[in-house]
Amino acid sequence: MQMNLKIVLVEPLYQGNVGSVARAMKNFGFFDLVLVNPCRLEVEARAMSSHAWDLLENATVVSSLSDAIADSSIVIGTSGVSGSKFDEHLRVPAFSPREVKESLSGIDGNVAVLFGREDQGFNREELRLCDMIMTIPTSEVYPIMNLSHAVAVVLYEMSGMTTGELPLADAFDVRLLHTHFAEVLDDINYPEHKKEKTKLMLKRIFGRACLLEREVQTLRGIMRRIQKNLR
């Protein structure tokens, strides 16, 4: 069975790109498209989607990224910026599509791959919601890819990836784990100015680990035990 993967476009600006994304998805056998506050989709979107207009018509439109990824165990943000100079915890480490594919092999669960605005990409809040950051290796001379090209390259890599045996943790349980960690940081009087960065780092670590259901339960068990002993 093909991996349960959805494509989320965050505030796409150009309807032609949205149509082209739908076409690339159908080319590689992916059908679940979610649009967060998209531009108007009219004749050009449909023309560019070609024989994938059904996919475009069935796309889910939502008004916030949180809604788009509510049921996703793993949220992967695609960033064109390597960002080695800034936002270290936000964008680093960035994985290639092939590395992401390898991380996901053998598991079963809901995966969301996010693509940002054509001009600005993601804002910091959106990056915070990502478990993993993926960057397509491009030339330094001109690294900014067309949105639908980026989707095509990612799905080319992801296609043929089959569902494995190991169930990914539910999105809900992963959120509970992070809440739990945040509580422990409070309990141990972790320095306030480091909290946000540390929480983000934990999100990145657990994100790229693609936590399984039983692993999340075990980690939450440890957190509970720590809290109990602290009190």
Give ∠ CA 23-28-30 in degrees, rounded to 5. 80
- Shortest Å, Cβ 187 to a copy of itself: 47
Instruction: Report the 10 Å Cβ neighbour count for 48.
Output: 21
Give, to the nearest 10 degrees, the angle between helix 171-187 and helix 213-230.
20
Residue 139 touches a copy of itself, criterion: CB under 8 A: yes
Q: Which residue among 4, 37, 82, 159 contacts a copy of itself (CB under 8 A)?
A: 159
For residues 28 and 190, which CB has a smaller minimum distance to a copy of itself in the complex? Answer: 28
Q: Which region among 63-71, 86-94, 138-146, 190-198 touches a copy of itself (by CB under 8 A)?
A: 138-146
The torsion of the CA quartet 115, 151, 53, 71, rounded to 10 degrees, works out to: -50
State the distance between the two ends of the chain, measured CA to CA, in whole angstroms: 47
Residue 86 touches a copy of itself, criterion: CB under 8 A: no
- How many residues in the chain? 231
Q: Could you tell me which residues come within 8 angstroms of residue 86 by beta carbon, excluding any fewer than 6 positions away?
A: none
Residue 180 touches a copy of itself, criterion: CB under 8 A: no
Residue 162 touches a copy of itself, criterion: CB under 8 A: no
- Shortest Å, Cβ 73 to a copy of itself: 24
> 95 - beta bridge partners?
134
Residue 138 touches a copy of itself, criterion: CB under 8 A: yes
Residue 57 touches a copy of itself, criterion: CB under 8 A: no
Binding region for a copy of itself (CB under 8 A): 20, 23-24, 26-29, 48, 50-52, 136-139, 141-146, 148-149, 152-153, 156, 159-160
